[in-house]
Amino acid sequence: MSGRSAGILLHPTSLPGPHGIGELGSEALRFVQFLEEAGQQLWQTLPLGPTGDSGSPYSAYSAFAGNPLLVSTENLVRDNLIEHGPLEKKDGPVNYPEVTRSKTVTLREAFVPASRRMAGKVSDPDLEEFREEHRSWLEDYALYAALKEKFREAPWTAWDGDLAHREPKALARARRELVEEVRFHEWVQHRFFQDWGEVKEAANRSGIEVIGDLPIFVAHDSADVWANQDLFSLDRSGEPSVVAGVPPDYFSETGQLWGNPLYRWDRMADDGYAWWVERMRMSLTLFDAVRLDHFRGFEAYWEIPAGEETAANGRWVDGPKDALFSALRKSLGDLPVIAEDLGGITPEVEALRDRLALPGMKILQFAWGSGPDNPYLPHNYGHDNWVVYTGTHDNDTTAGWLSSASAEEMASLRRYTGRESVSVRDLICLAYSSVAARAVVPMQDVLGLGSGARTNTPGTTEGNWAWRVDGAALTPELATRLRNLTETYGR
């Protein structure tokens, strides 16, 4: 990863674009150009996997596949796969059920001429190469997606028993019966990887590193769990026997019950953590670096018996610790990874992060009201191996936070900055001026937007992951202001 630098956190779904969602076409390339003009060297995204109607990128149907909603409609027109007039940009929040319906129609329309070419014995060498390169996950994902449609989006545990338990004859029969659907999903993935590759290549040519996000856990209803049931703690019916979460703390009397199935780390160790090696390999194909979400779970994780209504009745269980990262480095070399070390972090977690020499995270919204020893205050960073943020996708926007912060927090912030009236720009300047090697600011904070623009409110299910940037806001004047800040603070 680059040295002293600055960047912006913006998920591609938040870009302008047709179909009511951001895509990996001209608007993504335009955002790359904006980053370059603004002197930014980092672009951070959320996970890029396929999502359901909630739109949550942290509850994806695959840890390897890309989100079909991001496939560029413009590029389908460019490649003569669909006939389309001028594509009208649709502004406003993402309506995931509506977008999924309309985008699926477009993709299926485009697949018809593509499939005709394949049926006409004019093979697509790029697609065949893609299928071969990604065979380890693509075959299972494409069949899983086809079966999800066959069973009307039911989770895999509700499918016919022989399919849920992956009996070889049943899988072979399904592949024959659903061959066209399987090919469709393989083709969609090929389009996603092509589109994302063009965007990432443009970013890298402009001197911009792309930082992705790798959640520690995967969704139970996913191709990953269905295809690798022996690697997860499941009962005989395929349901989780224990699930993930975090214990009660200052913020929640009952903790957080996430519900993800937990790994059988002992079985993963038996084959040298091969599934994790391939997962990290894929992430470092898509991105130049990744933020490793819930890093503390690799040291110890909170295990909750399935069926509990809250996270209170759990226990701490040792994670794989150094052994996993040794296996990753043995196969992949140095790991450009950011440790998401937020929340209830113990000395053992900090020691693991430091032994691995991974940069941790500093969030400025957490820095105020608890005295000068607060570890999120810039003068306490101690060294530069940090990524500092004004806030993350789980925080309120900084403008929203400033309007709702406690009197104690605001008094602390005013004393620290020496200002009677503190603005979003002041917090951005604190991040930029800190010793942290990398400073990343959410796009909402760059624009000074209020709470209505926040990305996610943890613990809620409505209105998340839907915010989109107005393309008209990415002006040359805004780029100039950001470039001036990066130059002022040596980023």
Residues known to be catalytic? 293, 340, 394
Instruction: Region of 208 please: left (phi>0), alpha (psi -120 to 50) or beta.
Output: beta
Joined tokens for residue 176: 């024959």
* b/e map 401-439, b = 16+ CB within 10 Å: bbeebeeebeebbeebeeeeebebebbbbbbbbbebbbb
What's the burial of 375, exposed, middle or buried (CB within 10 Å: 0-12/13-18/19+)? middle
Distances (CA, A) of 247 to 49, 58, 264, 289, 458: 27, 19, 20, 29, 15
3-state SS string for 32-65: HHHHHHCCCCEEECCCCCCCCCCCCCCCCCCCCC
Please name which of 459, 456, 475, 478 lies closest in space to residue 467, comparing C-alpha atoms. 456
Tokens 């950001």 sit on residue: 482
Secondary structure (3-state) at 380: helix
Residue type at position 315: R
Find all residues with CB under 8 Å of 390, minimum gap 6, and list them.
Answer: 363, 364, 365, 398, 424, 427, 428, 431, 441, 442, 445
Question: CA-to-CA distance for 195 and 68, rounded, in angstroms?
Answer: 11
101 near 54, Cβ under 8 Å? no
Instruction: Region of 95 please: left (phi>0), alpha (psi -120 to 50) or beta.
Output: beta
The DSSP symbol for 232 reads B
- DSSP per-residue letters across 233-244: -B-TTS-BSEEE
Question: CA-to-CA distance for 444 and 456, rounded, in angstroms?
Answer: 12
Q: Rounded to an integer, what is the distance from CA 479 to the centroid of its chain?
A: 25
Question: CA-to-CA distance for 485 and 432, rounded, in angstroms?
Answer: 8
Tokens 């390169």 sit on residue: 133
Please name which of 427, 419, 467 lies closest in space to residue 446, comparing C-alpha atoms. 427
